[in-house]
């Protein structure tokens, strides 16, 4: 299997394109000398100051500062007083945009294939917390995104490039507060 870390260049592109291209890639966490990896199967895009569903719509704060930073850095935040959520920053520094990683496919403790639906479950499985916010996606920091190629197709062992015809899209989850225009944007992407 070939493994290639995704670089800043990969993330320094339009947010919707990055969101679709992350599907089939792997989010990898180095923890206690082992790697925990999930193939990304669902994401949501948040793009710019005008996106009322985005944390950046009201300007920069201490919490959302990483969204305004360099592409390829993590924006990890705490929500509802109990859950961490993982986002990867896109586009150029100064333009607040990120992709929320909502779901993944991986291996359980006994080697069985598991599907994690929901960004909080994904963060918990990967043992990711706020210490990663603002750090680059890299092996050095212990959390990164990579491309894995395998002849086995769509599986926890090898990611694939998901054809546009296999990518489903729909409204983002839990953003009704942003008003109908922004809540109904089809900026959530997933694959089965």
| Mean pLDDT score, 115-132 | 96
What φ, ψ does residue 55 adopt, rounded to 5°? -65, -20
Its pTM stands at: 0.93
155 has a pLDDT exceeding 60: no
CA distance 75 to 30: 18
CATH topology of domain 2-190: 3-methyladenine DNA Glycosylase; Chain A (3.10.300)
Return the pLDDT at 109.
82
**Cβ atoms < 10 Å from Cβ of 45:** 28
43 has a pLDDT exceeding 90: yes
- In a 3-state reduction of DSSP, which class is residue 188? strand
- In a 3-state reduction of DSSP, which class is residue 126? helix
* pLDDT tens figures, 48-90: 999 999 999 999 999 999 999 999 999 999 987 789 999 999 9
Residue 159: pLDDT band with limits 50, 70, 90: low
Give the position of tokens 């909502």: 102
In the DSSP assignment, the letter for residue 22 is H
Contacts of residue 110, defined as CB under 8 A and 6 or more positions apart, other chains included, come to: none
């Amino acid at each position: 299997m070939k493994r290639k870390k995704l670089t800043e260049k990969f993330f320094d592109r339009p947010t919707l394109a990055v969101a679709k291209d992350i599907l089939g890639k792997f989010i990898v966490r180095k923890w206690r000398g082992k790697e925990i990896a999930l193939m990304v199967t669902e994401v949501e895009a948040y793009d710019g100051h005008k996106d009322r569903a985005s944390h950046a719509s009201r300007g920069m704060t201490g919490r959302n500062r990483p969204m305004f930073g360099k592409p390829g850095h993590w924006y990890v935040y705490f929500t509802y007083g109990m859950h961490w959520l993982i986002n990867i920053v896109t586009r150029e520094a100064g333009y607040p945009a990120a992709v929320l990683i909502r779901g993944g496919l991986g291996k359980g403790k006994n080697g069985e294939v598991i599907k994690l639906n929901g960004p909080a479950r994904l963060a918990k499985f990967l043992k990711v917390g706020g210490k990663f916010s603002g750090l680059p996606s890299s092996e050095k920091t212990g959390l990164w995104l990579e491309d894995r190629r395998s002849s086995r197709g769509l599986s926890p062992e090898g990611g694939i490039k998901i054809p546009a015809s296999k990518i489903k899209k729909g409204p983002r989850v839990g953003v009704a507060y942003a008003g109908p225009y922004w809540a109904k944007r089809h900026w959530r992407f997933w694959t089965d």
